[in-house]
Amino acid sequence: MFKKILIANRGEIAVRIIRACRESGIKSVAVYSEADETSLHLKMADEKVCIGPPVSAKSYLNMESIIKAAKETCADAIHPGYGYLAEVEEFAKMCDEQGIVFIGPTPHNLSLAGDKIAGKKIMEEAGVPVIPSSPGGVGSIDEAKSFCNEIGYPVMIKASGGGGGRGIRVCQNEEDLLEEFPVAKMEARAAFGNDELYIEKFITQPRHIEFQILADKSGKVIHLGERECTIQRRYQKLIEEAPSPGLTPALRKAMGDAAIKAAEAIQYFNAGTVEFLLDKDGKFYFIEINSRIQVEHPVTELTTGIDLVKEQIRLSSGETLDYSFDDLNIKGWAIECRINAEDPEKNFLPSPGTVEEYHPPGGFGVRLDTHLYQGYELPIYYDSLIAKLISYDTTRNGAISVMKRALEEFRVYPLKTTIPLYLQVMDDPHFIEGKFDTSFIEKFLPEEDEDDDDDD
Ligand code: ADP
Ligand code: ADP
Ligand code: MG
């Protein structure tokens, strides 16, 4: 087992990983940018190293600086969290070369999962259902036009190297396509350094259902059940739950089997997620593999009792999975709300500032993953996720009641947050019934939100 792990991340996920290290008797090293000198993860770790100026490209994405910090502190492994370097193949390779264990999938896994076109091809060959799409990258607008005429509208333009909901455009007709294609190309180049686009059939009113995977070095792959992540805004998840209120036992079995097949097809190692869309007729399609710990991992932890971060660490140290899906005792219901420092009344305008009054919710069935504390000044440079509030109960209705009560208790004055939006959702009859699709949240949003032009 490792003696010391460097955490190449910040915010709530850095705190989450440090807790797992502490419980495992492993020392932790926090890294931080100059804007994060007062961050909670520094107070919790055993050691800390400044890795650069506020802008992420020079700190949390600075591979040399992070490797140097690991060497200086004699860390034997690096946990990348999510976002930043978590899915960067080059970084995983650099760690290998330096004799530092990268806690995550292999560089080979990262290269296949990171290229959505290549990944889809492999899945198709493995017999996993995929969404009809262009056979490869679509270079010119003429190529795009003729392909769309073939499969029919509506279609979705996606960036081959995309992620985090960015670089996605829906086109209802050829007019939209002509307008959106060049914009998407520019956006993909700016955001991902790769302007390759492909086109997919648009699935109307789908649910997003994903399966948590664990795999060990011997090639054993298991899944830990599904997560329902249909409540999204601009293709980004807001509320997740486990299990999904939209699956029958038969569908759950078929999708779980397909998820394992997908992971096996790329010899997947460590924790990962296989994402699917489920259409109105109960047909499901693979969309991508996320090769990292995910933001919404706590809902799976609560329903399975398995600490996924500790499992990542254990598997990366060479230990094996000594249990199977049938040994898991999946029970109860968990719901997560991603709380952002954004004003839902003002088109989700970021709301940084100092937390003057902090009252976290607590009590039976409540888990809060956050880096907030009273007096904390939120830097303007980073993601607006400030907390993940997770509720747990034996039933879904119970988990909704706990969530409502916890959201009401939560106070982070004077920041504007997405808490009021989530309170509305918890009262919505369709949400309570479990009947919704990815367009669900639109009815709660102000008008201007429909204008998709400005970037998040
Ligand atoms: P999850 O799939 O676990 O819900 P998200 O898709 O919201 O997580 O991504 C988690 C974090 O990683 C977010 O901060 C998101 O912006 C970032 N992220 C994900 N994929 C990419 C990518 N390809 N490039 C840049 N950032 C990404
Ligand atoms: P990212 O890498 O940004 O997470 P995904 O391919 O996982 O991108 O898609 C993100 C979200 O976009 C999905 O959860 C879903 O809501 C929507 N989406 C993706 N592909 C389609 C599609 N073909 N039809 C309809 N919605 C889609
Ligand atoms: Mg995705």
Residue 454: pLDDT over 50: no
210 - beta bridge partners?
227, 275
Report d(CA 425, CA 431) in Å as an integer.
7
Residue among 427, 131, 79, 182 at smallest CA distance from 287 = 131
DSSP states of 307-376: -HHHHHHHHHTT------GGG----SEEEEEEEESEEGGGTTEE---B--EEE---STTEEEEE---TT-
Produce one character per residue of 136-171: b if its CB has 16 or more CB atoms within 10 Å, e if not.
Answer: eebeeeeebeebbeeeeeebbbbbbbbbeebbbbeb
pTM recorded for the entire structure: 0.95
Protein residue with least CA distance to atom 26, ligand 1: 83
- Please, how many CA atoms are within 13 Å of residue 336, restricted to the half-sphere of its CB? 31
Residue 169: pLDDT over 60: yes
Q: Please report the sign of the dihedral spanned by the C-alpha atoms of residue 317, residue 321, residue 325, residue 328.
A: negative
With 0-12 / 13-18 / 19 or more C-beta atoms within 10 angstroms meaning exposed / middle / buried, residue 299 is buried
Q: Is the CB of 441 under 6 A from ligand 2?
A: no
DSSP states of 403-418: HHHHHHH-EEET---S
Atom of ligand 1 nearest to the CA of 192: 24
How much is the pLDDT for 167?
A: 83
Mutate to test the pocket of ligand 1, among 194, 295, 381, 438 (most ligand atoms within 8 A of CB): 295
Residue 81: pLDDT over 60: yes
Report d(CA 415, CA 340) in Å as an integer.
10
107: cis peptide before it, omega within 30°?
Answer: no
How much is the pLDDT for 351?
A: 93
Residue 353: how many other CB atoms lie within 10 Å: 16
Name the band, by pLDDT with cuts 50, 70 and 90, for residue 380.
very high
Q: What is the distance, to the nearest Å, from the Cα of residue 429 to the centroid of all Cα atoms in its chain?
A: 27
Residue 456: pLDDT over 70: no
Indicate the angle between helix axes 107-114 and 116-125, nearest 10 degrees: 100
- Do domains 4-103 and 207-451 share one topology? The answer is no
Which architecture, in CATH terms, is 132-201?
2-Layer Sandwich (3.30)
Class (C level, CATH) for 207-451: alpha beta
Q: Is the CB of 155 under 6 A from ligand 2?
A: no
Residue 450: pLDDT over 60: no
Residue among 9, 21, 19, 14 at smallest CA distance from 316 = 21
Catalytic residue ranges: 292
Residue 86: pLDDT over 70: yes
Atom of ligand 2 nearest to the CA of 438: 16
How much is the pLDDT for 162?
A: 85
Residue 451: pLDDT over 60: no
How much is the pLDDT for 455?
A: 43
Residue among 270, 268, 261 at smallest CA distance from 297 = 270
The ligand minimizing its distance to the Cα of 119 is: 2
Report d(CA 337, CA 422) in Å as an integer.
7
Protein residue with least CA distance to atom 5, ligand 1: 164
* CA 330 – ligand 3 centroid, Å: 24
Q: What's the pLDDT tens digit per position in 26-46?
A: 999 999 999 999 999 999 999
Contacts of 434 (CB under 8 A, 6+ apart): 245, 246, 396
Give residue limits of the domains in the chain.
Answer: 4-103, 132-201, 207-451
Query: 269 with 109: CB under 8 angstroms?
Result: yes
367 - beta bridge partners?
390
Q: What's the pLDDT tens digit per position in 258-299?
A: 999 999 999 999 999 999 999 999 999 999 999 999 999 999
- In this prediction, residues 313-336 reach a mean pLDDT of 97
* CA 229 – ligand 2 centroid, Å: 11
CATH number of 4-103: 3.40.50.20
Which amino acid is located at 151 in the chain?
Answer: I
Residue 349: pLDDT over 50: yes
- In this prediction, residues 298-324 reach a mean pLDDT of 98
Residue 155: pLDDT over 60: yes
- In this prediction, residues 211-221 reach a mean pLDDT of 98
Atom of ligand 1 nearest to the CA of 290: 2
- In this prediction, residues 245-257 reach a mean pLDDT of 97
Query: 311 with 214: CB under 8 angstroms?
Result: yes
Q: Tokens 């991992």: give the residue.
A: 297
- In this prediction, residues 378-390 reach a mean pLDDT of 97
Q: Tokens 């091809």: give the residue.
A: 121
Residue 449: pLDDT over 70: no
Residue among 1, 4, 25, 42 at smallest CA distance from 379 = 42
Q: What's the pLDDT tens digit per position in 385-435?
A: 999 999 999 999 999 999 999 999 999 999 999 999 999 999 999 999 999
- In this prediction, residues 340-347 reach a mean pLDDT of 95
Q: Is the CB of 236 under 6 A from ligand 1?
A: yes
The ligand minimizing its distance to the Cα of 227 is: 1
209 - beta bridge partners?
228, 276
Q: Rg (Cα) of the chain, in Å, rounded?
A: 21
165: left (phi > 0), else alpha (psi -120 to 50), else beta?
left
Protein residue with least CA distance to atom 6, ligand 1: 164
Q: Is the CB of 82 under 6 A from ligand 1?
A: yes
* CA 253 – ligand 2 centroid, Å: 22
Rounded to a whole number of angstroms, the distance between the first and last alpha carbons of the chain is 40
- Picking from 98-112, 180-194, 382-396, 416-430, which range would have the lowest pLDDT averaged per residue? 180-194
Q: Is the CB of 164 under 6 A from ligand 2?
A: yes
How much is the pLDDT for 448?
A: 65
Protein residue with least CA distance to atom 7, ligand 1: 164
Report d(CA 291, CA 314) in Å as an integer.
17
Q: Is the CB of 300 under 6 A from ligand 2?
A: no
Per DSSP bridges, beta strands 4-7 and 27-33 are parallel
Q: By percentage, how much of the chain surpasses pLDDT 70?
A: 98
